[in-house]
């Protein structure tokens, strides 16, 4: 069992959509509940992104988060970091001849992703 010295969670919950896409009711509160649990009970450093936070869940903002903010927050050595990435909202993936590519299709300026899709990554 690994002993992680740094626990980081990026939690995203999107209820509000544009271009006629139905609004959701539980994505944002689900994300907020998980963020509180990880912060209070498991001592994670949490970056919560919802329709109401300073960092908005737009494609541009999330690209910046993953390419600039995240690398600065991870602490060397890499194997001591635990990263949990959680998304709650609408979405669909792009398809290829071999099924899902794992890439997300942009339907509006909000990042659209699998409903309640989460990734647990350990380096």
What is the three-class DSSP state of 81? Answer: strand
Is pTM beyond 0.85? Reply is no
Closest CA to 21 of 80, 92, 103, 79: 92
- pLDDT per position in the chain (123 positions), as tens? 567 888 899 999 999 887 788 888 999 999 999 999 999 999 999 999 999 999 888 888 888 888 888 888 887 777 788 888 888 887 655 555 555 555 544 444 444 333 333 333 332
* Structure token digits, residue 93: 């993936």
């Amino acid at each position: 069992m690994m002993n992680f010295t740094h626990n980081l969670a990026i939690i995203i919950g999107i209820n509000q959509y544009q271009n006629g896409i139905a609004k959701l009711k539980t994505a944002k509160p689900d994300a907020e509940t998980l963020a509180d649990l990880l912060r209070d009970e498991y001592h994670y450093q949490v970056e919560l992104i919802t329709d109401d936070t300073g960092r908005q869940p737009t494609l541009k903002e999330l690209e910046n988060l993953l390419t600039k903010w995240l690398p600065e927050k991870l602490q060397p050595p890499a194997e001591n970091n635990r990263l949990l990435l959680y998304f709650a909202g609408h979405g669909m993936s792009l398809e290829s001849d071999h099924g899902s590519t794992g890439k997300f299709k942009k339907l509006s300026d909000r990042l659209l992703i699998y409903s309640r899709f989460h990734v647990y990554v350990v380096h």
